[in-house]
Amino acid sequence: MKNLERLSAVASGREPADAVFHGASVLNVFTREFERKDVYLCGQYIAAVAEAGSYRAAQEFDVSGKWITPGFIDGHVHIESSMVLPGEFARTVVGHGTTAVIADSHEIANVLGPDAVRFMIHQSERASADIYFMIPSCVPATGFEHTGGVISVADITSILKMPRVIGLGEMMNYPGIINGDLTTLDKLSAVFNIAGENAMIDGHAPLVLGKQLQAYRAVGIRSDHECHTFAEAAEKVRNGMYILIRQGSSARDLSLIIPELAKSRLPLDRFCFCTDDKNIADIIREGHIDSNIRNSIQLGLPPAEAYTMASLNAAECYSLPETGAVCAGYRADFVILDDSETVAVHSVIKSGRKADVTHSAAVKLPETRGGTEAEDLLYRACHSVHLDPDAITDTLFAGPLPAGSRTFAISIRPGTLNTEKYELSEKDLSQGLDNGTLCRLAVIERHKNTGCHSLALLKGYGLSRGAIAMSIGHDSHNIICAGIRPGDMTAAVRRICGLQGGIVIVEDEKVTAELPLPVAGLMSNKAAEEVKTAHDALLPAARRLGIYESIEPFVTLSFLALPVIPALRLTDQGLFDVAGWKFL
């Protein structure tokens, strides 16, 4: 809570500030100007931004020649995709200037159901960045796959009352919205009934335009992070939506939108940044929202506009009234930069104190069940792969290649999560697995040991030998495996079972690299740097299998099971045509 009496006393000059940051150029996000001002603090808040010497201060920090901007906000992220727990994720991103994130926990919710949100809230209680939560809206994403949990309308009503829960997460079932599916619409109504007409509901609407967009927007969905062109983003902004421009490990939309946005006359106050899905190795190597800002400046966006999109715009989108500006009355969350053009982060002030990025937030896994709710949830999360390794045999992967008058494969499009529907020729079917054009793709249900599994062919991945298996298979997170020979695929999936989740690479039926992810099969309990080291070892092992340099092997593979992104996907129930909303 703000100490209003103390803030008033400091801001009026009657009492000294706790600290002053002196000599920097401070970004005013309301006017898009950098101004030479001093920033005066009172506890966790900013008391004043004023000319040098305007106020007394108990402590002075000289930041002459540097720049100060508001802390960065990630408008849409699945922390699970970083592959570390919330504490480690926050420690890592705050070092890159991110002081708040809007997290949608639908990845782990597909494994644990509504308890997943409780789990993530517990894990984020002492995080060094503010973590706000959106309720997963589509668990499962569709009725065409098996998951480990379901989030119902009643669950949404209950979760909305939890701390730091601020709205409904991305509504991926856009066909349900457009076609008036009552079960889907009931979820929106539940949120409006509790949070009011201005409740925040995130969207997920790739290529949804025209009348379909009108229907999607009319029911109150306010954002989208799936735009791959400026034209699509512009149409959605003109219909009152916020656009979260994404730069993740696989989906990289900045270069597709920013150059035209920078030249356009569209106001930028409806544009924000997000990462969506970015693994910890890429965050450490490339950056987080600081990378979005840096790349946007390089693509022609004025620096002041880029920083405002990364702060104030996101704060206004998600109704965070004390966040997003370096201004009197706002939280003292700001970034000190050595250089504003390159977004060179010198240090980060979070809630009035320098953020600690050195102490690991790694977690010890419990050996037995019991104790507090947080400990019990962690134990459950670490036992989520319910498959008998002995039941995984070559026969699961040795099914006959497809045959028929028209046979289709999933074809990867580099740089985007979208795929294409590729019609196979007789030559493809006879030679594809021999020349590396095609590989086998399998999805195996892992939550309830139902025995459900499916096979398809994949084009454009480049795999020419060996196999890769993962317990990350968006969004249901069944086991997904790509390979050439059934024996390699068997070895990879069996190792996943032994690890209780992770990423495994096999060649000649031997494991050549692996990354254990024992928490829900999605996250490690280790320090971010340890996870990065293991993840970095995966990439050369994957490249040795022939995967194309233009393909990010792991994020790309994980999304091939998500049946709400065009055009073809593989779930544990079969090959799914997203446009036709049916199995092939």
Q: What is the pLDDT of residue 86?
A: 97
Place of tokens 């028929």: 404
Answer whether residue 372 is part of any domain: no
Q: Cβ of 336: how many Cβ atoms within 10 Å?
A: 20
C-alpha distances out from residue 101 to 25, 128, 320, 506, Å = 25, 11, 11, 36
**Pairing outcome for strands 479-483 and 438-444:** antiparallel
Estimate to the nearest angstrom the gap between the alpha carbon of 517 and the chain centroid: 17
Q: Read off the CATH number of the domain in which 213 is found.
A: 3.20.20.140
Say if 303 falls within a structural domain.
yes
Indicate if 87 and 40 belong to the same structural domain.
no
Is 149 a member of any domain? Answer: yes
The tens place of each residue's pLDDT in the chain, 584 residues long, gives 789 999 999 999 999 999 999 999 999 999 999 999 999 999 999 999 999 999 999 999 999 999 999 999 999 999 999 999 999 999 999 999 999 999 999 999 999 999 999 999 999 998 999 999 999 999 988 889 999 999 999 999 999 999 999 999 999 889 899 999 999 999 999 999 999 988 999 999 989 999 999 999 999 999 999 998 999 999 999 999 999 999 998 788 999 999 999 999 999 999 999 999 999 999 999 999 999 999 999 999 999 999 999 999 999 999 999 999 999 999 999 999 999 999 999 999 999 999 989 888 888 888 888 778 888 999 999 999 999 999 999 999 987 655 555 789 999 988 778 899 999 887 887 777 777 789 999 999 999 999 999 999 999 999 999 999 999 999 899 999 999 999 999 999 999 999 999 999 999 999 999 999 999 999 999 999 999 999 999 999 999 999 999 998 998 999 999 998 889 999 999 999 998 989 98
**CB contact at 8 A, 576 and 563:** yes
| 60 and 139 co-located in one domain | no
Longest Cα pair distance anywhere in the chain, in angstroms?
Answer: 84
3-state secondary structure of 107: helix
Range of the domain at 434: 389-583
Question: Beta partners for 446?
Answer: none
Q: Which helix (H) or strand (E) holds 174?
A: helix 174-178
For position 84, what pLDDT does the model report?
Answer: 97
Helix (H) or strand (E) holding 380: helix 373-381
DSSP state of 79: G
297 and 393 in a single domain? The answer is no
In this structure, the answer to whether residues 149 and 85 fall within a common structural domain is yes
The residue among 327, 354, 381 that closes a domain is 354
CATH for 52: 2.30.40.10
3-class secondary-structure state, position 125: coil
Helical residues (DSSP H) of 500-559, grouped into ranges: 528-544, 553-558
Nearest to 10 by CA among 34, 46, 62, 44: 46
C-beta separation of 79 from 87 below 8 A? no
Q: How many CB atoms lie within 10 A of CB 4?
A: 10
What was the pLDDT predicted at 403?
Answer: 55
C-alpha torsion 41→45→48→54, nearest 10:
-20
Q: Count up the domains in the chain and report the number.
A: 3
pLDDT given for residue 402 in this prediction: 57
This prediction's pTM? 0.92
**292, 431: one domain:** no
39 and 178 housed in the same domain = no
The answer to whether 444 touches 525, Cβ cutoff 8 Å, is no
Q: Give the C-alpha separation, 420 to 426, whole Å.
A: 19
- The count of other CB atoms within 10 Å of the CB of residue 155 is 21
Residues 182 and 57 occupy one common structural domain: no
Residue 374 located in a structural domain = no
375 is a domain residue: no
77 and 31 in one domain? no
Residue 40: φ, ψ to 5°: -105, 130
**Which of the 8 DSSP states describes residue 356?**
P
On whether both 11 and 136 belong to a single domain, the answer is no
Give exposure, 205-240, as e/b (b: 16+ Cβ within 10 Å). Answer: bbbbeeebbebbbebbbbbbbbbbebebbbbbbeee
Q: Which residues of 10-19 are buried (b: 16+ CB within 10 A; e: fewer)?
A: bbeeebbbbb
3-state secondary structure of 50: strand
Of 354, 380, 399, the residue that ends a domain is 354
pLDDT value, residue 473: 96
The last residue of one of the domains, among 300, 330, 354, is: 354
Q: Is residue 277 part of a domain?
A: yes
**Tell me, what's the pLDDT at 359?**
85
Which amino acid would we find at residue 460?
G
Q: β-strand 574-577 against 98-104: which pairing, if any? A: unpaired
- Closest listed residue to residue 566, CA positions, set 415, 418, 410, 417: 418
Based on the domain organization, do 473 and 492 belong to the same domain? yes
Same structural domain, 34 and 160: no
Residue 549 lies in a domain: yes
Say if 228 falls within a structural domain.
Answer: yes
Residue with tokens 């690479």: 505
Are residues 347 and 292 both part of a single domain? yes
